[in-house]
Structure 1
Amino acid sequence: MIFNRLRFAIFLIAAYTLVTWANAQNKPQNKPQDKPQARCPAAQEMKAEQLHGQWAVRFTKPPAGLPARATMRLQRHAEFSESLAGSVSRDLGAAAGSPAIAGHAAQAQLAGDLDEGLLLLDESSDGVSITGTWNGEMVAGSCGKVYQGSWKDTSRSAPPDAPDVPFTLTRLP
């Protein structure tokens, strides 16, 4: 008789444990999330390789001869693996009917770095001299998909007071 009571008590303890465990599994705070959200990196955490790919460029109030839109391609620099290289392509004939900016080509080479969250690129239309500079920062919350900054005409034909031209880079799919 004592043996049957002991066996019944162990059975009740096991059943209670099983029910408690099953109940804990059904609580929302104990369930794994369907899709864990990836943390958006801070600008300072971004690496140059995360910028490799195609980008749409939009200029705000471009000067005469510079179209409002362009396409940029960024890739790994051939000599400096943690740097950027690439090109920017512009339809200079689409610049509101004005003549193209002297000293600039429809396709220019780019080289630069992503340094402490700052995007710094030099542009060269002739492959020798720097004809433009790009300085930008990642837009907060964009997870590295949008950068804003200013482009500066540094070609020989640029006026001494050439304005900084605001731009927005948006990653293309």
Structure 2
Amino acid sequence: MKTLVATFLIAACAGCAGVTGQNDAQSDGSAGPTRKSADCAHASSPPEVDTLYGRWQVRIDGQPDATAELGPHPEYGGVRGRLTRPSGVAQLAGDVDDEGTLALDESEDGRTISATWTLTVQPDSCGKEFKGTWQHAGDEAKRPAVITLISRAPG
């Protein structure tokens, strides 16, 4: 009889755990809030620079969408890469400070800074989204900017 009761309790607990796990999944297949929080336990600390290596979707207010590819900077502890727009390609270089702010310099000619970026990692994004501003050199206006990770660099 004790074995039957124990078996019933184990089955009931397993069933409850399965139902909870199903509730964590969203209709789009992504993890729900409980799972996301557990997966992003490190989200309260600034992202490591190597988590920036990869391909990013870039949206700047009033401009066509673009794509950025970031990798390690060969001379400094930051990132270097390129920004591909419909109008051409620019070079990017920058780093993340202790508060999680990503600062990027953009150069259209490879010699002078043509724009600057100041972006902050978004809470609960697991380091996959940064929001902030983009400012073209010589222009006082700062435009809202968002970069969202498309895929991490292999390795």
Q: Please state which structure has a larger fraction of its residues in strand.
A: 2
- Cα–Cα, structure 1 residues 31 and 166, in superposed 2: closer, same or farther, change >3 Å? closer
Unaligned runs of 5+ in 2: 25-34
Aligned AA (2:143): V
Q: Deviations over 1:26-79 (max 9, x none)?
A: 233785875893422425342121121111111113xxxxx3321111111112
Instruction: State yes or no: 1:153 paired with 2:148.
Output: no
Q: 2:90 aligns with which of 101, 104, 108?
A: 108
Over aligned residue pairs, what C-alpha RMSD do you find?
2.6
Q: 2:127 aligns with which of 116, 127, 144?
A: 144
Unaligned runs of 5+ in 1: 1-14, 62-66, 93-105
The number of equivalent residue pairs is 134
- Cα–Cα, structure 1 residues 147 and 163, in superposed 2: closer, same or farther, change >3 Å? same
Residues 72, 78 of structure 2: 8 Å contact kept:
yes
Q: 1:89 aligns with which of 84, 90, 94?
A: 84
Q: Deviations over 1:82-113 (max 9, x none)?
A: 41111111122xxxxxxxxxxxxx21111111
The structural deviation recorded for 1:139 is 2.3
Taking structure 2 as the reference length, what is the TM-score of the superposition?
0.72
- Where 1:71 maps in the other structure, the secondary structure is strand
Separation of aligned partners in 2, 1:21 and 1:48: 50
Residues 78, 96 of structure 2: 8 Å contact kept:
yes
